[in-house]
Amino acid sequence: MKSLIDYSLNEEYEKVKRLGDRLAEVDSLYRSERKKQGERRGLRRKLASVALIIHDGVWLRF
């Protein structure tokens, strides 16, 4: 029974691994935008106008 559980966990892990690290991508975008802006207030206004929703590995932008 343990090997069946291990197999299932490995299968699910592979599915999640294919999605990638979305938080790292968002962090790098945030940091690069921050360098461009140079001003914290301007960056906040720009980020406030965009909402990102991540659902099942799909990015929706509003």
pLDDT tens, 14-39?
Answer: 887 777 777 777 777 777 766 666 65
Phi, psi at residue 21, to the nearest 5°? -100, 90
3-state secondary structure of 55: strand
pTM of the full structure: 0.34
How confident is the model at residue 18, as a pLDDT? 77
Range of the domain at 19: 2-61
Q: Is the pLDDT of residue 1 over 70?
A: no
Domain count across the chain: 1
